[in-house]
């Protein structure tokens, strides 16, 4: 059973560039979550989708951040333009149904120079 | 004050020791509780998931929930060096509460 798959695993880019992070949830899971993890703030929920529909994006830090889920097997998190303070590990997680635990991917380590 | 408090550690123990990891929370609406283990440069991995107060055992791991005290624990028996990781507690309200609230994580080091 393949887990949540994220790509790329590492991304290093210069300030001002567009960054796109990708996620393939576990097949059959109907909810998908994007998190950001830093030493200072721990794990923070950015946005989550239920049945491909964005439900709560209150954690998205700024308009520079956007997320889409065009179908049940794919989601993207885009940062445009990127800034050094966006450097963090970004995790995607999926869940089969309400009140079931979330399963995480191995994250994308993002460095903005 | 954070909704979920967790001692960041690091907690260093010798191999074979019993480890106790704890979280306290302030929101009485939390009803589902999880423990995740996170190795360096990996995503959080679900270890335990429980709803009821009391104990739930899985191999060397025991999760304990005390809703009256708003306190949860994870016990690891016969700890191994491979248990060295960061342990995150997480919790959520019942149906309709889709968002997990995480503790900050406790870093555990088990020395051979």
Give me the mean pLDDT over the A31-45 stretch. 92
Q: Say yes or no to pLDDT of B65 above 90.
A: yes
Q: Say yes or no to pLDDT of A1 above 70.
A: no
pLDDT for the residue A89: 97
pLDDT for the residue A97: 82
Given pLDDT bands bounded at 50, 70 and 90, which one contains residue B92? confident
Please state the separation of Cα B63 from the chain's center in Å.
8
Given pLDDT bands bounded at 50, 70 and 90, which one contains residue A70? very high
A22: enclosing H helix or E strand: strand A19-24
Q: Say yes or no to pLDDT of B1 above 80.
A: no
Q: Say yes or no to pLDDT of A21 above 60.
A: yes
Rounded-to-integer distance, Cα B105 and Cα B2, Å: 13
Q: Say yes or no to pLDDT of A86 above 80.
A: yes
Rounded-to-integer distance, Cα A21 and Cα A10, Å: 10
Judged by average pLDDT, the poorest of A73-77, A79-83, B27-31 is B27-31
The closest alpha carbon to B49, from A100, A79, A46, A42, belongs to A100
| B 92-111 residues with CB < 8 A to A | 92, 94-96, 98-100, 102-105
Q: Do A105 and B102 touch (CB under 8 A)?
A: no
Q: Taking chain B, what is the end-to-end CA distance rounded to the nearest angstrom?
A: 37
Q: Say yes or no to pLDDT of B93 above 90.
A: no
Q: Nearest by CB to A101, from B34, B94, B96: name it.
A: B34
Q: Say yes or no to pLDDT of A57 above 70.
A: yes
pLDDT for the residue B98: 63
Contact A103, A93 (CB under 8 A): yes
**Residues of A in Cβ contact (< 8 Å) with B102:** 42-43
> For all residues of chain A together, what is the average pLDDT?
94
Q: Say yes or no to pLDDT of A90 above 90.
A: yes
Q: Say yes or no to pLDDT of A63 above 70.
A: yes
Q: Say yes or no to pLDDT of A92 above 60.
A: yes
Beta strand pairing status for B45-50 and A108-112?
Answer: unpaired
| B 42-71 residues with CB < 8 A to A | 42-46, 49
Q: Say yes or no to pLDDT of B96 above 90.
A: no
Give me the mean pLDDT over the B22-43 stretch. 93
B95: enclosing H helix or E strand: none
CB-CB neighbours of A27 under 10 Å: 11
Rounded-to-integer distance, Cα B94 and Cα A54, Å: 20
B45 sits in the region (left: phi over 0; alpha: psi -120 to 50; else beta) called: beta
């Amino acid at each position: 059973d393949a887990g949540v798959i994220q790509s790329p695993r590492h991304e290093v880019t210069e300030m001002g560039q567009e960054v796109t992070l990708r996620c393939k949830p576990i097949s059959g899971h109907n909810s998908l979550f994007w998190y950001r993890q830093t030493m200072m703030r721990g794990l923070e929920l950015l946005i989550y989708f239920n049945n491909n529909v964005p439900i709560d994006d209150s954690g998205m830090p700024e308009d520079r951040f956007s997320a889409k889920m065009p179908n049940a097997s794919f989601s993207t998190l885009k940062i445009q333009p990127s800034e050094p303070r966006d450097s963090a590990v970004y995790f995607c997680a999926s869940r089969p149904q309400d009140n079931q635990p979330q399963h995480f991917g191995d994250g994308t380590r993002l460095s903005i120079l | 004050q954070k909704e979920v408090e967790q001692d960041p550690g690091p907690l260093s123990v010798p191999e074979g020791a019993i480890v106790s990891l704890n979280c306290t929370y302030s929101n009485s609406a939390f009803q589902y509780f999880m423990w995740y283990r996170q190795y360096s440069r990996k995503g959080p991995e679900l270890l335990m998931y429980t709803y009821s107060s009391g104990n739930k055992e899985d191999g060397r791991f025991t999760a304990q929930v005390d809703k009256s005290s708003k306190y949860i624990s994870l016990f690891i028996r016969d700890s191994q060096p491979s248990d060295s990781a960061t342990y995150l507690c997480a919790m959520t309200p019942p149906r309709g509460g889709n968002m997990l609230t995480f503790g900050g994580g406790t870093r555990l080091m088990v020395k051979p």
